[in-house]
């Protein structure tokens, strides 16, 4: 699949905003602990991915009802759905000056992924920081995607090719409006 940058300028995929608050002290502290200043870009990106995938449980797996949406809140609360975890990973990557984008799949609901572009590589690589569990084995891989879920076109599932510089508004609006995860699923988009 050809991935399409929503914004042509690569600098848009390094920006901070209210969601990707990579200047926040907790994001900076976490990125420093993961080696942002000492590791090569590939090693830091892999460490950031594995940290978000493994150290921040997906709230549906853990039963946590909280619904953080800002990257620093996801890191502080150590919980989130796939899209919230993507917000945290994008913030950590951008803190390391690694261009990172939001991208999505349509499964039974919208599923959040991250794409990154490491120095010296022409192509973006998609990653899935959702969190592994039995039957789910997402890995850091630049040459062959190792996402949590393969889409099933026969079930009307699909990969969206657009790389967004900011979270999709439909996803972000649902996350911000939901007081808890139970309410979130009534607001959350089934497609973009």
DSSP class of residue 169 equals H
Average pLDDT (128-144) is: 95
Any residues with CB less than 8 A from the CB of 95 and at least 6 apart, and which?
Answer: 22, 27, 28, 31, 36
Average pLDDT (36-45) is: 98
Average pLDDT (178-190) is: 97
Helix H or strand E encompassing 172: helix 169-177
- In order of their start, the domains of the chain are 4-187 (3.10.620.30)
Beta strand ranges found along the chain (DSSP E) = 4-5, 100-106, 110-116, 125-127, 158-159, 162-163
pLDDT tens figures, 63-86: 999 999 999 999 999 999 999 999
3-state SS class at 170 = helix
Whether the pTM exceeds 0.95: the reply is yes
Token digits for 78? 């150590």
């Amino acid at each position: 699949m050809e991935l399409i940058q929503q914004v042509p300028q690569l600098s848009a995929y390094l920006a901070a905003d209210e969601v990707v608050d990579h200047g926040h002290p907790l994001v900076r502290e976490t990125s420093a602990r993961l080696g942002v200043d000492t590791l090569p870009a590939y090693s830091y990106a892999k460490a950031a991915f594995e940290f978000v995938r493994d150290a921040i449980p997906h709230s549906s797996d853990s039963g946590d009802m909280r619904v953080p949406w800002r990257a620093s809140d996801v890191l502080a609360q150590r919980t989130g759905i796939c899209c919230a975890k993507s917000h945290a990973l994008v913030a950590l990557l951008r803190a390391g000056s690694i261009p990172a984008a939001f991208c999505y799949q349509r499964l039974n609901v919208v599923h959040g992924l991250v794409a990154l572009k490491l120095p010296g590589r022409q192509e973006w690589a998609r990653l899935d920081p959702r969190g592994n569990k039995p039957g789910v084995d997402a890995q850091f891989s630049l040459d062959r995607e190792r996402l949590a879920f393969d889409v099933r076109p026969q079930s009307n599932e699909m990969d969206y090719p657009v790389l967004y510089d900011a979270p999709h508004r439909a996803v972000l609006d649902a996350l911000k409006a939901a007081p808890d995860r139970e309410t979130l699923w009534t607001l959350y988009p089934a497609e973009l």
